[in-house]
Amino acid sequence: MDLDRPERDAISIDDAAVRDTIRLVRASGVVEAIAEWEDEERNRPGGAPRTFTVEALLVAMCLAVRYRQALTLERFTKTLFKFISPELRGELGVTSDPPPPEEDRKAWAALYRRVRSRFHGMVDLMDPSPYPKNRRLTAEEFVAATKSMTPEEIAVRVERLLWFCNQIIDISLRTMPREQWLRWKGSIGLDATPIPAFARAQVKDPDTGEVVIYSAEPDGAWYVREGDHRDLDAMPDSAGKVIKKLKKQKWAFELSIAIMGPSCLDDDRTFPYLIAGMAVLHKPGHAPGENAVKMLANMHQRGLPADLIGCDRAYTGQKPENYRLPAAALGHQLVIDYKIDELGIMATWGGANLVEGRWYCPSMPTLLVTATADLRAGLITKDLWYERIEARRAYELRPKAAPDAEGHVRLLCPAAGTHPTAMCDLKKGSTSRHMLGKTAVILTTDVADDPPKVCTQQSVTFPPEAGDRYLQALPYGTPEWQRTYATLRNTIEGVNGLIKDGSYEALADSTKRRVRGVAANSVLVAFGIFALNLRKIDSFCDLAVVDTNGTLRKPRKRRRTTKPIQNWAPATSSGDPPPSA
Q: SS in 3 state form for 45-85?
A: CCCCCCCCCHHHHHHHHHHHHHCCCCCCHHHHHHHHHHHCC
Task: Say if residues 441 and 415 touch (Cβ distance below 8 Å).
Answer: yes
Nearest by Cα to 522 from 225, 8, 128: 128
Cβ atoms within 10 Å of 387's Cβ, excluding its own = 13
Question: pLDDT of the chain along its 581 residues, tens only?
Answer: 444 444 446 778 889 999 999 999 999 999 999 999 999 888 766 556 677 889 999 999 999 988 888 888 999 999 999 899 989 998 898 877 777 655 677 888 888 999 999 999 999 999 999 999 989 999 999 999 999 999 999 999 999 999 999 999 999 999 999 999 999 999 999 999 999 998 999 999 888 889 999 999 999 999 887 655 444 444 444 444 444 444 458 899 999 999 999 998 888 899 999 999 999 999 998 889 999 999 999 999 999 999 999 999 989 999 999 999 999 999 999 999 999 999 999 999 999 999 999 999 999 999 999 999 999 999 999 999 999 999 999 999 999 988 998 999 999 999 898 888 889 989 887 777 677 778 888 999 999 999 999 999 989 999 999 999 999 999 999 999 999 999 999 888 888 888 888 777 788 888 888 889 999 999 999 999 999 999 999 999 999 898 888 888 988 876 666 677 777 777 665 566 666 65
Burial class (CB in 10 A: 0-12, 13-18, 19+), 314: middle
DSSP state of 576: S
On whether the pTM is more than 0.95, the answer is no
Confidence at residue 236, expressed as pLDDT on a 0 to 100 scale: 45
Sign of CA dihedral 236, 239, 243, 244: positive
Kindly give the residue spans of alpha helices, DSSP state H, lying in 67-220. 73-78, 86-91, 104-124, 139-145, 151-173, 178-183
Query: Phi and psi of 26, rounded to 5°?
Result: -65, -35
Confidence at residue 495, expressed as pLDDT on a 0 to 100 scale: 86
Q: Which amino acid does the sequence have at 426? A: L
Nearest by Cα to 329 from 293, 354, 298, 356: 293
Q: For residue range 378-403, what is the model confidence (pLDDT) as tens digits?
A: 999 999 999 999 999 999 999 998 89
Q: How far apart are CA 153 and CA 37, in angstroms?
A: 13
Confidence at residue 58, expressed as pLDDT on a 0 to 100 scale: 95
Q: Which residues are within 8 A (CB) of 235 and not within 5 positions of it... i.e. 6 or more apart?
A: 224, 227, 242, 243
DSSP state of 285: T
Q: How far apart are CA 253 and CA 251, in angstroms?
A: 7
Confidence at residue 51, expressed as pLDDT on a 0 to 100 scale: 78
Cβ atoms within 10 Å of 362's Cβ, excluding its own = 21
Q: How far apart are CA 247 and CA 245, in angstroms?
A: 7
Residues in the chain: 581
For β-strands 249-260 and 275-278, DSSP reports them as: antiparallel
DSSP state of 100: P
